[in-house]
């Protein structure tokens, strides 16, 4: 482990070996891990994200060796447990259910590479729209109005099946390695993703670990 750390530090300190990223395009595939988290919603509804995983694809334009802009598409899934509570005019009791959240997001992003070298730390941030399919597994025990995580109050004898479209945004920090002879690059980053859910009374989001594998052209 110490040898790896020393190698990275020496690469960062080296005065030669410029990255030559400027005025180029990049395409990459991503693997990501979604962290677990508890969420609270209006009326006392709640959910527990048990963690999950996903994949993605990114297209980027390097404005110069330091700054880049682009767009990415990600697909992911995590399992969750939920507590549904009675809504207006409903004398029933709360009940437990679960689901498998499917996510698809399209975001614009900007990245700052701190160094114009093949090995560089970087900061990145983006915003866009995310589509959520909750796949709730259980219908309510009786007809009436119920307050669901993610959806808010829904009246009826069946669980909501509407796909939600919400604003999402995120930020991350990581380390980038440009491979020799323009063979591609690898990026590893850790950060957070957040979703604007009006029905939530706590922050909805998760930490995320992501690895990108790409080519420059």
Among 34, 37, 32, 139, which Cα is nearest to 92's? Answer: 139
Alpha-carbon span 149 to 81, nearest angstrom: 10
Q: Is there a contact between 132 and 101 (Cβ–Cβ < 8 Å)?
A: yes
Give the pairing type, strands 24-34 and 204-216. Answer: antiparallel
Look-up of token digits 């609270």: 40
Q: 96-132: per-residue pLDDT in tens?
A: 999 999 999 999 999 999 999 999 999 999 999 999 9
* 3-class SS of residue 199: coil
pLDDT digits (tens, 9 = 90+) for 155-185: 999 999 999 999 999 999 999 999 987 789 9
List the chain domain ranges. Answer: 25-38+51-78+101-137+161-216
Between the two ends of the chain, the Cα-to-Cα distance in Å is: 33
Euclidean distance between CA atoms 197 and 120, whole angstroms = 35
SS3 assignment, position 180: helix
Tell me the percentage of the chain whose pLDDT exceeds 70: 92
Record the pTM.
Answer: 0.86
DSSP 20-51: --TTEEEEEEEEEEEPPEEEEBGGG-EEEEEE
Distance CA(98)–CA(48), nearest Å, equals 9
pLDDT tens string 62-100: 999 999 999 999 999 999 999 999 998 998 999 999 999
Whether residue 57 is predicted with pLDDT greater than 80 in this model: the reply is: yes
Give CA–CA dist 87/98, Å, rounded.
19
Q: Is the pLDDT of residue 11 over 90?
A: no
Given this model, what pLDDT does residue 18 score?
Answer: 73
Class of domain 25-38+51-78+101-137+161-216 (CATH, top level): mainly beta
pLDDT at position 17: 59
**pLDDT score at 13:** 46
């Amino acid at each position: 482990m110490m040898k790896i750390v020393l190698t990275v530090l020496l690469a960062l300190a080296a005065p030669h070996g410029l990255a030559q990223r400027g005025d180029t395009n990049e395409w990459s595939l991503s693997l990501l891990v979604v962290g677990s988290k508890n969420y609270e919603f209006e009326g006392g509804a709640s959910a527990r994200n048990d963690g999950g995983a996903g994949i993605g694809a990114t297209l980027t334009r390097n404005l110069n060796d330091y700054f880049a802009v682009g767009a990415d598409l990600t697909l992911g899934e995590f399992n969750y447990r939920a507590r549904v509570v009675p809504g207006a005019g409903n004398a029933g009791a709360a009940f437990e259910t679960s689901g498998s959240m499917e996510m698809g997001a399209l975001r614009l992003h900007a990245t700052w590479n701190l160094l114009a070298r093949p090995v560089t730390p970087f900061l990145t941030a983006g915003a866009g729209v995310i589509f959520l399919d909750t796949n709730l597994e259980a219908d309510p025990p009786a007809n009436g109005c119920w307050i669901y995580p993610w959806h808010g109050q829904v009246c009826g004898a069946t669980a909501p099946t509407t796909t939600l479209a919400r604003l999402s945004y995120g930020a991350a920090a990581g380390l980038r390695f440009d491979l020799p002879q323009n063979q591609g690059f690898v990026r590893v980053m850790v950060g957070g993703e957040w979703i604007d859910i009006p029905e939530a009374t706590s922050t909805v989001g998760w930490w995320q670990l992501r690895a990108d594998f790409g080519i420059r052209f």
